[in-house]
Structure 1
Amino acid sequence: MKFVALVSGGKDSCFNILHCLANGHDLVCLANLYPPPTGEEEIDSFMYQTVGYDALRYYAKCIGKPLYSQMITGTAANKKLEYAKTDNDETEDLFKLLSLVIKKHPDVEAVSVGAILSNYQRTRVENVCNRLGLTSLSYLWQRDQAELMQEMCKSGLDAILIKVAAIGLKDKHLGLTLQQAYPILSDLNSKFGVNVCGEGGEFETLVLDAPFFKYGRLVIKEKEVVRHTSDEVWYLKLKVDVEEKVPPLPDPKTWLQYIEQPPLLADPFLEFDKGSEEVQCAESVTTIPKTYKSKACMWTANCKLVASKIYIDNLSSTAETVSQQIRDIFEQFSEFLASSHCTFANVQSVDLFVSNMDNFSEINGIYKSYFTKPLPPARCCVQSSLPEGIYALMSAKVIPDIAQKLGLHVQSRSYWAPSNIGPYSQTIMDYSEGTAYLSGQIPLIPKCMALCSYPQDKSAALALQHLSRVEEVTGYNETLLLTAYIKDASWLSTVVEIQKKYMGESKYAGNFVISQIEELPKSASC
């Protein structure tokens, strides 16, 4: 995809550009937000690095790509973790900036952003991307910080510390390169818990040179150490120039080999990574006999409160067309929610069974029109035998007190787990009862969102690794129930083997259900 890179001048935004290039994406231009002309280089922003911004105007010459800039006029008017469009918020400055980029470069499809752990930053970039029809590329997301910093040190980035704001970091550390600073940061991490990548705001950096700086590098002409309002915060005020690079320009083949991409599978699933060669799916499918399809609907919709959870079950319809049935189902859904003094924003998870996956696009188009707020419910969708003339069956779990609802809806591409670009979150948690429902996962390759076609054990391990990583972010470590859907009964023993790796010997290991169904999203096998 052709992408615009959001650049702050820091190591993270530049290192993510390297990973975008390593994954075959095409850099079109750069974009940056800068502080208003108040005389202060460093402003309090929840979203943007501004110290050292003046050096960014030289990046266009160094890289050979146009740079578009937008002044920050807003503030953090909306401090909620999940962002919705808010007037006078600094996120809307990003919307203006990327709107300008699209106007100048209509072929831009994606945005490079260097978020590592900040959900606050990620959700705002994703909100803007969704509104503009762009894909967020965040290849640093959820990476181990120590590993990431080591990779940066040997990637060819020439970056220096230009701001320090943490215990153990003083003005004497300003100007250190990443390679010089890493041992110090590692020591401070072990002593005081300082983030080695600066994710807690411990330090900021400025990249002077990178492998994709084809035409020049920044050289420092003058520097001044400035003490911020806090005695323990220092930054560098720099004057820089461009030192042109003498041809030949860097050959991408010489530096891309140093960009380490994480392995597709990691512990405890690494042993199932037996190569990347694709295999053909078996032509014959071992099936379990199907149940007889009745001509009449066999379910009765109901709504009940159990403990602190509302369960809405067996929503179906006998209307004539697919769209009529789905709208009828959501009318019933809406009535049940209203009777419980809830809205669609209270929904924690949805189980959706369809009679034919060929209808999924039509069903999903209507479905997403009802879940327009941040953190849509977790969802599992499969094709299964339904009574004749019934196109869909839906059940849901609802959190009565929306203040107890937390979740994770990552829509950026990364190495971590598949992005959820549809109207469903990776997980929705009910804080009041300490439970989380996770969306169904299929063996997609996260960095490109392609469905892998690997041997059974590797495919099953990948799908379960996705679940494991989402579960890890929730902070919950006990699996109460795990359901595996398979199309082919020959996958049974493989799925059981992988499940043991996922759930271990915990007392909940017996709560494992395997169900054979007719079809999965994207025609996945598990």
Structure 2
Amino acid sequence: MKFVALISGGKDSCFNILHCLANGHELVCLANLFPPPSDSDELDSFMYQTVGHDIISYYAKCTGKPLYRQQINGTSANQKLEYKKTTNDETEDLFQLLSTVLKHHPDVEGVSVGAILSSYQRTRVEDVCLRLGLTSLSYLWQRDQTELMSEMCDSGMEAILIKVAAIGLNAKHLGLTLQNAFPVLLNLNQRFGVHVCGEGGEFETLVLDAPFFTKGKLIVKEQQIVKHTNDDVWYLKLKVEFVPKNDSGDQILDWSQFLSTPPLLNERFQEISDSLPKINQDEKPKEKALTTNTNTQLWKFNSTTVDNKLYVANITSNEEQLEAQIQDIFSQLSSELKKRDFKFANIQTSSLLVKDMSNFATINKIYCKYFTEPLPPSRVCVESNILPPGVLAQLSVTVIDDLQFKQGLHVQGRSYWAPSNIGPYSQAIIDRRDNIALLNKF
């Protein structure tokens, strides 16, 4: 797909662009959020790197791609891990920036983001993408940081440290290349647990050259060390110069030569996969007799409270048309929730049985309307031929009585780490009290 790259000037946002290109996506333009005018280049932002922001304008020259920029006007107003649209939050600045990009490039479908470990950043980018109909491309997500830094050093990307803010790092480390900084960071990781890729805010970087900088690169002409208000934080103010490259006219197509991609399975699961009997793809599966038990007692509606959970099981409808059945099912569920002052956000898991999977798109379109809050329930959807006659779908849910104990994983971006969920259903939702009870048991 065609994509816009969110860039901060740092190594992560640039290295993710390289992975996007290697995965067949087409870079259309760049986008950046910069701090409002002040005496300091450093903005206290939970989302964005701002040191070195005055260099970003050169990236349009380096790549030959248009650059869209917007000032950060909001603050970290909503600091919850799972983000919901909040007035005056800095995440809404990203929404406005990407909205501007779409006005100029309506064919853009993906957004490159260099998040590695921060769920805070990931969930906010994914929220914005969901609202705009875009897909987050985050190929660095959850990668091993030592492996990742090693790959960055070998990728042909030239980057330097422009800010340090961790034990063992000081002004003398400013200006170090990734290659020279790597052994220092490995040592600090072993001694003090410093994140090798700086995911704890230990340092920031600025990319001067990258394989997709096809038009030119940057060289540092002047640098000034600035001490931040915190005694342990230093950063660089730079003046750079654009140096053109010999432009061949054609972009490099084999981007994979500059990086390595992780295997589909890690060692443990690869061993399991290798131990399984091989299947002959050309051999037709044997026909099996299908169970046709339609005992309606099995599907009797039931609503039960056990401890802090509400279990609503076997919601079906007698309506004739598919859409009418699904609307009726959710109307019944809504009534059950209201009896106990619950909302759809309280639902932890859902199990959806459908008579014919070809109806899934129609069912899902209605289903999606009821789950608009962060962390929608995890969902199992199965085609079943033993639903009662005339019943096209059946829904069962588990409901948590207190949302403060609801925690989960809802990944919607593309990465090497896990398949993304494209709709309002999470990979996993837990009630933290269940974990506490389990720990107490043992």
Shorter-chain TM-score category? Answer: over 0.9
SS in 2 for 1:433: helix
Shift of 1:69: 0.3
The count of corresponding residues between Structure 1 and Structure 2 is 436
Q: 1:12 and 1:421, CA in 2 relative to 1: closer, same or farther beyond 3 A?
A: same
Superposed CA offset, 1:276-320 (max 9, x none): x998464334424312446x6752212112122221111111211
* 1:460 alignment counterpart: none
Percent identity at matched positions?
A: 62
- 1:360 deviates by 0.4
Task: Quote the Cα distance in structure 1 between the aligned partners of 2:15 and 2:197.
Answer: 12
Runs (5+) with no aligned partner, structure 1? 437-475, 478-526
Kindly report which structure 2 residues correspond to 1:45-194, keeping only aligned pairs within 5 A, or say none.
45-194=45-194
> Which deviations, in whole Å up to 9, do the C-alpha atoms of 1:464-500 show, x marking residues without a partner?
xxxxxxxxxxxx99xxxxxxxxxxxxxxxxxxxxxxx
Task: Give the SS at the match of 2:223.
Answer: strand
Q: Please, what is the CA RMSD of the aligned residues? A: 2.1
1:358 aligns with 2:387: no
Which residue in 1 is equivalent to 2:207? 207
Q: Which residue of 1 aligns with 2:434?
A: 433
1:84-143 Cα distance to aligned partner (Å, 9 max, x none): 111111111111111111111111111000001111111111111111111110000111
- Aligned partner of 1:23 in structure 2 is 23
SS in 1 for 2:267: coil
Contact 2:22 2:254 (C-alpha < 8 Å) held by counterparts: no
Q: Give the Å deviation of 1:406.
A: 0.7
Shift of 1:345: 0.5
Which shifted more, 161-170 or 264-273? 264-273
- Which position in structure 2 is the counterpart of 1:393? 394
Equivalent in the alignment of 2:5: 5
What TM-score does the superposition give when structure 2 sets the normalisation length? 0.94
**CA pair 137-435 structure 1, distance change in 2 beyond 3 A:** farther
The answer (yes or no) to whether the contact 1:298–1:387 under 8 Å persists in 2 is no
Distance 1:171 1:423, change over 3 A: same
- Structure 2 residue runs of 5 or longer lacking an equivalent are none
Structure 2 counterpart of 1:407, one-letter code: G
Contact conserved, 2:18 with 2:255, CA < 8 A, in 1?
A: no
Q: Which has the higher contact order (CA 8 A, sep 6+)?
A: 2
Aligned-partner Cα distance in 2 for 1:250–1:416: 32
Contact 1:74 1:88 in 2 (8 A): yes
Task: Name the SS of the counterpart of 1:214 in structure 2.
Answer: coil
**Cα drift, residue 435 of structure 1:** 8.3
Q: After TM superposition, give the deviation of residue 174 of structure 1 in Å.
A: 0.4
**Do the aligned residues in 2 keep the contact of 1:4 with 1:30 (CA within 8 Å)?**
yes
What SS does the aligned partner of 1:434 have?
A: helix
Q: Is the 8 A contact 2:162 2:203 kept in 1?
A: yes
Post-superposition CA distance 1:413-433 (Å, at most 9, x none): 000111111110111110111
Q: Which residue of 2 aligns with 1:197?
A: 197
Deviation per CA, 1:169-224: give whole Å up to 9, x if none.
Answer: 01000001111011110111111110000001000000000000001101111100
Match of 1:502 in 2: none
Following TM superposition, by how much is the alpha carbon of 1:47 offset from its aligned partner in structure 2, in angstroms? 0.5
Structure 1 counterpart of 2:401, one-letter code: P
Cα distance in 1 for residues equivalent to 2:2 and 2:248: 25
Paired amino acid for 2:102: I
Taking structure 1 as the reference length, the TM-score comes to 0.80
Q: Hey, what's the Cα distance between the residues in 2 that align with 1:196 and 1:288?
A: 56
Alpha-carbon distance in 2 for matches of 1:233, 1:140? 26
Structure 2 distance, partners of 1:50, 1:322, is 52
1:330 corresponds to: 330
> What corresponds to 1:243 in structure 2?
243
What amino acid sits opposite 2:230 in the alignment?
Answer: S
CA drift of 1:322 comes to 1.0
Tell me if structure 1 keeps the 8 A contact 2:355–2:383. yes
Equivalent residue letter for 1:418: P
| Cα offset, 1:341, TM superposition | 2.2
Q: Cα–Cα, structure 1 residues 286 and 269, in superposed 2: closer, same or farther, change >3 Å? A: farther
Q: CA deviation at 1:251?
A: 6.1
Report the 3-state secondary structure (helix = DSSP H, G, I; strand = E; otherwise coil) of the residue aligned with 2:421.
Answer: coil
Contact 1:308-1:433 within 8 A present in 2 as well: no
Q: 1:278 to 1:140 in 2, by over 3 A?
A: farther
Q: Which amino acid aligns with 2:290?
A: P
Aligned to 2:269: 269
Aligned AA (2:100): L
Counterparts of residues 331-480 of structure 1 (less than 5 Å): 331-385=331-385, 386-434=387-435
Letter in 2 for 1:377: P
SS in 2 for 1:432: helix
Structure 2 counterpart of 1:52, one-letter code: G
Call closer, same or farther: CA 1:384–1:281 in 2, change over 3 Å.
farther
Which has the larger displacement, 343-352 or 240-249? 240-249
Q: What SS does structure 1 have at the residue aligned with 2:161?
A: strand
Q: Secondary structure at the match of 2:180?
A: helix
Q: State the alpha-carbon separation in 2 of the partners of residues 283 and 422 from structure 1.
A: 33
